[in-house]
Amino acid sequence: MAPSTSVTVIGQGLPRIDGPKKVSGLAQYTSDHHFPGLLYAVPVTSTVAKGRITALDPRAALAMPGVVEVFHQGNFAGKLFRKQASKGKVDENRPPLSDNTVSYYGQYVALVIARTFEQATEAARAVKVEYASEPPNVSMRLAAEEKTSVDTERGDVDQAFTSAPVKIDQVYTTPVQTHNPIELHASVAVWNGEQFTLFETSQAVMNHQMVMAQMLGVQPQQVRIITEYLGSGFGGKLWPWTHATLAAAAARELGAPIKLVVDRAMMFQTVGHRTNTQQRIRLGATADGKLNCVSHDYLFHNARLDTYKENCGEATGFLYSTPNLRAAWSFARRDIAPPTSMRGPGAVPGLYALESGMNELAVALKMDPLQLRLANQPERDESLDLPFSSRHLTECLHTGAERFGWARRDPRPGSMRNEAGAVVGWGMAACSWMAKALPAKATVQLAANGRARVMCGTQDIGTGTYTVVAQMVAALTGLPLARIDVVIGDSSLPPGPMSGGSMATGSLVPAVQAATQAAIDEALQAAIEHDPRFAGKAPGALAFDQMQVSIKGEQGKAVLLQDILQAAHMDHVSGEGEGAGSAEAQKHYSQHSYGAHFVEVVWQPEIARLRVDRVVTVIDAGKVINPQTGRNQIEGAIMMGVGMALFEETEYDPRTGAPLNANLADYIVTTHADAPEVDITFLDYPDMTLNPLGARGIGEIGLAGIAAAITDAVRHATGVQVRDLPVRIEDLLDAPVGLAS
Amino acid sequence: MAKQKLQFSPDNPPLLPLSRRSVLQALGISSTAAVLGSGLAQAAGSAAAAPGDAAEPGAQILNMTVNGEPHSLKIDPRTTLLDALRERLQLTGTKKGCDHGQCGACTVQVNGRRVNSCLSLALMHEGDAISTIEGLGTPEQLHPMQAAFVEHDAYQCGYCTSGQIMSAVALANEPYGTSDSDIKEAMSGNICRCGAYSHILKAIKQARG
């Protein structure tokens, strides 16, 4: 049934359909919404990390001009509820202002509502709060406090390690990192007496609806979540945070629309972070570089009240072939706000450690790190004992090495120079990220105005969902993207996937395809019933392309669907579609994406200047529906990887427990001037076990492994092996490849 | 007595002027419900006009031109140029990212020069000509820099984009060189956390010709 044009639009780097709105300032993000009578909410945040509130005096604030209300435990407890354990996801389940305990610095202790943002901001400073506080523990040195759990195990790791001819045993640490999307988290909450309309910064409007309904104590159909445009999230906007419940409950209490925008300092306190990790990697190999054991023991921190797992062992079990392997974990609690998923949760810090270990093993073996990886590729997933659905890591490694010029590498540290005479270092690493799909539903309408409309309760977080969904519809209808309306970002639409885990696109493919096909089938039925030219024909005898119906073999006499519908007094035909997700396929296949990074750093010891100059990345992520938006995502992940390797660390004051560098000048992210030259290749092998287009996700994999490639390049340039991220200039001041060399 | 509902609708922008007392009183007033869609947000711009003296003691008159249109606002002296544009004039294309001049999302042009509007109090702009992204071009008639951003996919989420574009347009009149490294340095006050930097560079080079 699919017309011949269908193959062309999938895999085309078409411009984003939402681009013109984004570049003209018309795309409406959450905090852009405004309503008559809107009130502004500004939270008061705790200045201690551990203790309890002993007194809270709102009188001075209430007396200030424009102040409408000050909510605090005394007048707000009981307005919000906990959600059930099994229904929906949230990282902080304690309702805000529900009691007087403080378990992290920056916890909301009051909420000031005023007529203007300026009035609310000043009044928030006037709320007097007294605490009985205890010294917090925000130490980044971790010891297992909970029982160790095993992710995966085979053979006898300890015995194999003891007898290994060549081995490494190192601890790698990653610091707390903070998502810092440029869009501040925000809620604009409207309660009309019966229903909540909540404009939220959400990567998952359906989950947001489910959680908010429970926490507000209303039915899900009383809550509508809207996220038309999201200023990115990187995982930090997956699950609702306390500001969202506060804003909604305040709107209900006051009967007025409430706008609450989290400020940048609060972005480091109340909306999650990537937990720090401390990972011991033990690798053993034969003298010719065959791995005989991989041991990955990792720790991370958790908040006092909620438990999150940073799944660092995600890729450990299947990335390389080895008879003996174990990945195991535990955690320690700290007086720090709850951590959450951040881009490539688990695998990103986990592969930093594992791939750093591989690079150090290569040094110990006096072997090229590329050859070490090539020599240890598994035939099947040795952890799950399943075949790989589609794994082309070896080709990624070969292609990347060729594009980078890896064969010219001289392994001696400090031995290579660029054209300007500066020291360069080369490093590489492999990467992987899970390929999964979630259940999803979608509706497609083909309308009498000649346009198609696709509707789904998913959202575009900057990844290009608007555009790739339009491409999916275009592939089956033959319509140009300009005639396809994509309606997403609203929980009242058919339930769609979250934008997390690189799962949205792959989950949407079967649902949108099925819905489009169902709508086309309806169109053909309408033609048979309402147009005498098609009366009595079997649907299979008809063809549909570019909103035209024809008899197969007589495409020259095609009839516009809009004419058929108009004659039949129909506004549109519609179809519904559903995707089942990948749970069944995962019983039969090990489904993952793969890739390889090759990095060049430039080291100028005379001015202690280090920069990442060039990155070559090859990604095997199945069929890439839009290579332009896809390449942009991989490149963006590499930019974040430069930050992870060289800049990003949230530091906590041991006296107060406060995140110290809670702003964008002191928490350094990659700027334009830091951006390396990037060369990205997609292998483009469709993974047909995942969905009918063979598309896997691409949002996260680019950040996996890149930090290990960078630190290996730093070692190659400077002779210094940094294991505690980020690499600091002070780590390199005594570098063997320094001024003296 | 059962708690009754408040009404909000474009025809009845209630609760102005609003005090704590009036809100508490209003909680007893019955009405029908109005579901507010995003379309209303546009309409609400004029309805939610700047409050009067009684509501904002110390408010002062500010006259400035925004995208060629003269505006006279009575404004709280604490209001930043950014918040005046977004919350008073409903010109929400200019974005708030940090309030500290660290991210560049709020970049606008003041008399042709790029500034971080979050770092500047609105009342400092008496008589100034402000240009925002809304004044540059529309989806139907994009400025060449806007068109180049679309063509080169010079964004992902789009949140920093207004600031990037306002910065890039102003840059053309600054004494920077035209090499890639000059442009990258000059654009480093505008953070793109999505990391679309090479695409932004391509767009700027194309639009500059």
User: What is the mean pLDDT of the segment spanning A256-279?
Assistant: 98
d(CA A176, CA A660): 12
Residues on chain B touching A117 (C-beta within 8 angstroms):
83, 87
Query: Would B94 be classed as within a structural domain?
Result: yes
Q: Which of B83, B86, B157 sits opposite A231 (nearest CB)?
A: B157
CA A221 to chain centre: 28
Measured CA to CA, the distance from residue A538 to residue A528 in angstroms comes to: 8
Q: How far is A226 from chain B (nearest CA, A)?
A: 9
Residue B159 is predicted with a pLDDT of 98
B54 occurs within a structural domain: no
- Judged by a CB distance cut-off of 8 A, whether residue B151 touches chain A is yes
**Contacts (Cβ under 8 Å, ≥6 apart) of B179:** none
Q: Do B133 and A34 touch (CB under 8 A)?
A: no
Same domain, B72 and B127: yes
The reply to whether A150 falls in a domain is no
Residue A177 domain-assigned? no
Question: Is A490 in the same domain as A556?
Answer: yes
pLDDT per position as a tens digit, A683-705: 999 999 999 999 999 999 999 99
Flag if B157 and A116 touch (Cβ within 8 Å).
no
Q: What is the pLDDT of residues A469-488, one digit of tens each?
A: 999 999 999 999 999 999 99
Let me know whether A403 and A417 are in one domain.
Answer: yes
Q: Are residues A187 and A50 in the same domain?
A: yes
Spatial contact of B95 and A27, defined as CB atoms under 8 Å apart: no
Q: Which domain holds residue B200?
A: 144-208
Beta carbons of A630 and A698 less than 8 angstroms apart: yes
Q: Dump pLDDT digits (tens) for A567-580.
A: 999 999 999 999 99
Are A612 and A712 contained in the same domain? yes
User: Are B125 and B66 contained in the same domain?
Assistant: yes
* A288 within domain boundaries: yes
Residue A562 lies in a domain: yes
Q: Do B87 and A122 touch (CB under 8 A)?
A: no
Which two three-digit tokens encode residue B164? 């990037």
Angle between helices B197-208 and B144-151 (to 10 degrees): 140
Q: What is the rounded distance in angstroms from the CA atom of residue B116 to the CA atom of residue A487? A: 33
- pLDDT single digits (tens) A101-123: 999 999 999 999 999 999 999 99
Q: Are A261 and B87 in contact (CB under 8 A)?
A: no
| Structural domain contains residue A263 | yes
- What backbone torsions phi and psi does residue A51 show, to the nearest 5 degrees? 150, -155
Contact between A231 and B162 using a beta-carbon 8 Å cutoff:
no
A508 and A601 both lie in a single domain: no
Claim to verify: residue B43 and residue B80 sit in the same structural domain: no
The answer to whether B158 contacts A231, with C-beta atoms less than 8 Å apart, is yes
Tell me if A673 and B78 make a contact (CB, 8 A cut-off): no
Chain B nearest CA to A461, separation (Å): 6
Average pLDDT over residues A538-559: 92
**DSSP assignment string, A186-201:** EEEEEE-SS-EEEEE-
A717-732 burial: b if 16+ Cβ within 10 Å, else e: bbbbbbbbbbbeeebb
Distance from CA of B147 to the nearest CA of A (A): 8
Q: Is residue B55 part of a domain?
A: no
Q: Which two tokens stand for residue B205?
A: 């080079």
Burial class of A437 by CB neighbour count within 10 A (0 to 12, 13 to 18, 19+)? buried
A-chain residues within 8 Å CB-CB of B193? 180-182, 232, 234, 640, 669
Q: What is the ipTM of this complex?
A: 0.97
> Residue A62 — φ and ψ, nearest 5°?
-65, -25
Question: B112: domain CATH number?
Answer: 3.10.20.30
Cβ <8 Å between A22 and B197: no
Mean pLDDT of A123-129: 98
CATH classification of the domain holding A54? 3.90.1170.50
Choice among A200, A314, A635, A700 that is catalytic: A700
Give yes or no: residues A111 and A216 share one domain. yes
What pLDDT is stored for residue B56 in this prediction?
85
Q: Give a yes or no: residue A158 inside a domain.
A: no
A21 and A55 inside one domain:
no
Q: What angle do CA A524, A458, A107 make, to 5 degrees?
A: 170
Partner residue opposite B41 with nearest CB, options A25, A33, A665: A33
Mean per-residue pLDDT of chain A: 96
* Residue A737 binned pLDDT confidence (cut-offs 50, 70, 90): confident
Query: Is B36 a domain residue?
Result: yes
Chain A within 8 Å of B203 (Cβ-Cβ)? Answer: no
Mutation to test the A interface, candidates B29, B75, B153, most A Cβ within 10 Å: B153
Which of A581, A616, A635 is the endpoint of a domain? A581
Of A192, A199, A636, the CB nearest to B195: A636
B149 and B131 share a domain?
Answer: no
Interface test with A, best of B103, B156, B201 (most A CBs within 10 A): B156
Percent of chain A with pLDDT over 70: 99
Q: For residue A555, tell me if it sits in a domain.
A: yes
One domain, residues B107 and B148: no
Q: Is residue B159 part of a domain?
A: yes
Instruction: Tell whether A1 is covered by a domain.
Output: no
A35 chain-B contacts, CB cut-off 8 A: 8, 36, 40-41, 44, 48
Backbone angles phi, psi at A404, to 5 degrees: -80, -30
Domain that holds residue A263: 33-134+183-231+237-268
| Residues B131 and B149 both lie in one domain | no
Separation of alpha carbons A615 and A609, rounded Å:
18
| Cα of A75 to nearest chain B Cα, Å | 14
Per-residue model confidence as pLDDT tens digits over A197-208: 999 999 999 999
CB contact at 8 A, A444 and A493: no
Q: Which of B118, B135, B152 is the last residue of a domain?
A: B135
Region A220-224 average pLDDT: 98
On the question of pLDDT at A133 being above 80, the answer is yes
Both A399 and A535 in one domain: the answer is: no
Are B126 and B154 in the same domain? no
Nearest CB neighbour to A226, from listed B13, B38, B97: B38
Domain final residue pick, A551, A581, A611? A581
pLDDT value, residue B113: 97
- pLDDT > 90? residue A493: yes
pLDDT at B1: 36
Contact across the interface for B194 and A263, Cβ inside 8 Å: no
Mutation site, B12, B62, B82, B197, interface A, largest A CB count within 10 A: B197
Report residue A130 as tokens.
């007294």
Give per-residue pLDDT as tens, A42-83.
999 999 999 999 999 999 999 999 999 999 999 999 999 999
User: Looking at the domain assignment, is residue B23 inside a domain?
Assistant: yes
Query: Which pLDDT value is given to residue A551?
Result: 95
- Test B95 with A197 for CB contact under 8 angstroms: no
Query: Are both B70 and B40 inside the same structural domain?
Result: no
Same domain, A497 and A393: no
Give chain B's domain count. 3
Most B CBs within 10 Å, among A12, A14, A24, A615, to test the B interface: A24
CA torsion sign for B101, B102, B107, B111 is positive
B155 chain-A contacts, CB cut-off 8 A: 19, 22-23, 462
Coil vs helix vs strand at B200: helix
* B 79-118 → A contacts, CB under 8 A: 79, 83, 86-87, 90-100, 102-103, 105
CATH number assigned to the domain comprising residue A12: 3.30.365.10
For every one of its 209 residues, what pLDDT tens digit does chain B have, with 9 covering 90 and above?
333 333 444 444 333 334 433 333 333 333 323 333 433 333 333 333 444 445 788 999 999 999 999 999 999 999 999 999 999 999 999 999 999 999 999 999 999 999 999 999 999 999 999 999 999 999 999 999 999 999 999 999 999 999 999 999 999 999 999 999 999 999 999 999 999 999 999 999 999 87
A330 and A449, same domain (yes or no): no
Q: How confident is the model at residue A739 (pLDDT cuts 50, 70, 90)?
A: low
Distance CA A246, CA A267 (A): 16
pLDDT (tens digit per residue) in B137-150: 999 999 999 999 99
| Tens digits of residue pLDDT in A346-380 | 999 999 999 999 999 999 999 999 999 999 999 99
Query: Taking CB atoms and an 8 Å limit, are B184 and A675 in contact across chains?
Result: yes
Residue A122 pairs with which residues in a beta bridge? none
Report the distance separating Cα A519 and Cα A261, nearest Å: 41
Position A734 scores a pLDDT of: 86
State the virtual CA torsion across A339, A341, A344, A349 in degrees, nearest 10.
20
Residues of A in contact with B150 (CB under 8 A): 15-16, 19-20, 23
Determine the residue among B35, B193, B200, B204 to mutate to test chain A binding: the one whose Cβ has the most chain A Cβ atoms within 10 Å.
B193
Q: Are residues B155 and B201 in the same domain?
A: yes
- B42 and B69: one domain? no
B128 touches chain A (CB under 8 A): no
Give the closest residue to A633 by CA, choosing from B107, B157, B201, B7: B157
Domain annotation covers residue B103: yes
Q: Which helix (H) or strand (E) holds A297?
A: strand A291-302
Residues B131 and B171 in one domain: no
Strand partners, A333: A302
Of A499, A229, A201, A701, the closest CA to residue B161 belongs to A229
- B38–A28 CB contact, under 8 Å: yes
According to the model, what pLDDT value does residue B54 have? 56
CA geometry: angle A718, A395, A414, nearest 5 deg: 10
A310 is a catalytic site residue: no
Domain's final residue, options A550, A581, A612 = A581
Rounded to whole angstroms, the Cα distance separating A430 from A204 reads 30
**Quick check: bond before A654 cis, omega within 30?**
no
Q: From chain B, pick out residues whose CB is under 8 angstroms from the CB of A67.
A: 20
Sheet holding A452-455, edge to edge: A484-487, A452-455, A440-447, A572-579
Q: Based on the domain organization, do B33 and B66 belong to the same domain?
A: no
Q: Answer yes or no: do A403 and A541 share one domain.
A: no
Number of domains in chain A: 3
Q: Is residue B162 part of a domain?
A: yes
Give yes or no: residues A101 and A195 share one domain. Answer: yes
